Amino acid sequence: MSSTPNKLSVVEDTSRGAETGGKADLDSSELYLNQEYSRLKFNTRVLAQATNERVPLLERLKFLLIFASNMDEFFEIRLAGQKSQIEFGRENTGPDGYSPREVLKELHLRSHAVTEQQYQIWNDVLLPELAREHIHFLPIQSWSDELRSWIKRYFKTEVAPVISPLGLDPAHPFPRLVNKSLNFILSLSGKDAFGRESGLAIVPAPRSLPRVIKVPDELCDHGDHFIFLSAIIAANVSDLFPGMSVNECHQFRVIRNSDLDVIDAEVEDIAHALKGELFSRRFGSAVKLEVAAQCPEELSSYLLTQFNLGEEELYKHNGPLNLQRVLEAVNQLDRPAISYPALVPGIPKKIRESSNMFQTISHGDVLLQHPYQSFSPVIDLIRQAAKDHDVLAIKQTLYRSGSSSEVVDALIEAARNGKEVTAVVELRARFDEEENLHFASRLQEAGAVVVYGVLTHKTHAKMLLIVRKEGKQLKRYFHLGTGNYHAGNARMYTDYSLMSAHEEMGNDVHKVFQQLTGMGREIKPKHIFHAPFTMQKKMLALINSETAAAMEGKPARIIAKCNGLTERKIIKALYEASAAGVQIDLIVRGICCLRPGIPGVSENIRVVSIVGRFLEHSRVYYFANAEHPVYASSADLMDRNLLRRVEVCFPILQSKIAERIHKELELYLLDNQNSWSLQADGEYQLVRQSENSVELSAQAELLEKYAQ
């Protein structure tokens, strides 16, 4: 996983072959970084923002909490996947040459180190700085007598009535505990009313209660004061075992495998099958045990045995285990001085000056860049379509849209108004499955046609198609995006939205919808690339055309901005392009399995990752010699996107809009505030502002340009 001197020397030997006229072996495992290690490195870049003094204090705290949430998912899905391969005897070595056993061992080693760093930042950096801003998370030892009395009453009235202590004995075996639930293990002495003397008990923290409680202002000095539910329970837990002595009380949490598997040829009803899987997710096999740092070895060993885990899967934390729940406290704070300035997304002038979205789009394509520009025009387009007497049909894909979605509400209104509404709902959008089941049911009740895409391929494309009768003709209006139809995400994620009435591309969108909802042979869109059929092949052709241009002595350039780069054929094509002299800049937020900077192989490739206020989510690709140089897509350059999902990639046909996107890509490459550069050994270095350069943050520049 990590580069050793031996490994580096092999890379150098490979590159020397290329330099002396030989051809490097582009299938060599030395040229590929491990996917899961790269994913973990992204999480560490997020954690680094928690100590970035250019970031406002409360936002630094949020980055720490995002890291905690990301690590939960990392274990639930990624490490769980490696462990499952081993358990079921399906150990497949990746392009990097590492087996799942090697990957799992290395990931645990690195996860222990980075998690320890997380709690060091919490305890030694953020808590003291928050205290200076009069924001306090009060440990038990700091409680005044008056506060203890209030906490005692709170426990008695709010906590004790809903808590269920579980003594352990032959009649009460170790309970099944829900994934990520907060629990306490207790060591007891004495006998209860029935004469039982088990010695151990489990106390689950009530899931219905907040994990962080704000203390009434009158009980504390100036500022905001919070107490963890875990501290309240620990301080009063003896009340749950009257007549017995509590010798030890320590919090713990188990992380379980949360991946769902409903891809089965015998599944007759995916919605019904998924409901069963959602329940089982709460009790999947354990992959990680978290305990308080003070928990004695005999209790942590007992828990490891109960969850069938090894020592490397035990994580001891010096602080609250459910750290991401601190967000409950952050949401109660009104501190603009230590937060990012409020975001007011802009709206393009031609939309502001017209109340009719169809008229605006008819006059020319509209490109929005979220979150700097508002997502509301997209919602307005659907709302107007729902009310417009001339609109006959609306078709839309829905991957993630949120629990209370204005988009879904507009589609429901359209169906009730007699429009032909078709929604392609992807039920398997990870961790949004339950919400998607809910709004799919609402759409069906309103009279919309709901289909669940293709069983073997997730529908990840972001498409909206509106068919409108104008005079004697039917006209198609459409929206294609790089992100989801989720208004909340559109304020946090960077994405592009294209709204157009281009006839040929509208026909392409129509064909993709027909393929999704019906059955038939492969379609042949004129402009759109679509996975799993043509996108990989078309992207390879665009890369190869730049290679050919470079070999002819022409200027050649590729810029790709995406969330992940793992697909081996794409990486090999980029290596070949680099060797031919193509200048390649990759802006890859998360996973990147390509090694840049290897002489003779990837010396013309630069890889940067931008981690800033907004989550970089847009997928856009620039090819200098293509007929249409700029493409936007719902798909990353990953195996799953290109080969196992329904995705679309579309050219930006209007030259002014294409040039705008190109300039914005170049802006990201100049960033010296939020940019990390990938090295050949797989490590990332923060891009430093040179002595003579101007401070430049791409996100700040785009905020200044587009937001209000």
Sheet with 286-292, side-by-side order of all strands? 166-167, 200-204, 182-189, 245-256, 286-292, 314-317
Instruction: Look up residue 332 and give its DSSP letter.
Output: T
Burial of 520 (0-12, 13-18, 19+ CB in 10 A): exposed
- Strand segments, DSSP code E, in 593-653 are 605-610, 615-616, 619-623, 630-633, 645-651
**H-helix or E-strand containing 308?**
none
Measured CA distances, 80 to 71, 306, 423 (Å):
12, 18, 32
- Cα separation of 428 and 406, whole Å? 21
Q: Which of 317, 457, 460, 617 is catalytic?
A: 460
- Tell me whether residue 460 is one of the annotated catalytic residues: yes
C-beta atoms surrounding 151 within 10 Å = 22
- 3-state DSSP helix/strand/coil % of the chain, to nearest 5: 40, 25, 35
Question: 3-state class of 592 per DSSP?
Answer: strand
Residue 616 exposure: Cα atoms within 13 Å on the Cβ side: 28
Q: Any bridge partners for residue 315, and if so which?
A: 290
Q: Which candidate, 650, 296, 300, places its Cα nearest to that of 508?
A: 650
**Cα(177)–Cα(290) distance, rounded to whole angstroms?**
13
Burial of 413 (0-12, 13-18, 19+ CB in 10 A): middle
Neighbours of 170 (CB within 10 A): 7
Examine residue 371 and say whether the peptide bond preceding it is cis (omega within 30 degrees of 0): yes
- To 5 degrees, how large is the angle CA 462–CA 464–CA 466? 170
Contacts of 61 (CB under 8 A, 6+ apart): 50, 126, 130, 326, 330
Q: What does the alpha-carbon distance between residue 160 and residue 632 come to, in Å, rounded to a whole number?
A: 54
Nearest to 230 by CA among 200, 254, 199, 206: 206
The DSSP call for residue 617 is -
With residue 129 as reference, give the H or E element that holds it. helix 127-132
Round to whole Å and give the CA distance between 27 and 13.
Answer: 15
Contact 129, 25 (CB under 8 A): no
Q: Residue 59 corresponds to which tokens in the numbers above? A: 């936002």
479: closest CA among 454, 452, 461? 461
* DSSP-assigned letters across all residues of 335-401: -GGGSPPPP--B--HHHHT-S-HHHHHHTS-EEEEETTB-SHHHHHHHHHHHH-TTEEEEEEEES--
Determine the longest span between alpha carbons in the chain, in angstroms.
Answer: 90
Enumerate the β-bridge partners of residue 289: 254, 314
Say how far apart CA 39 and CA 19 lie, in whole Å.
32
Residue 248's SS3 state is: strand
- Annotated active-site positions, please? 460
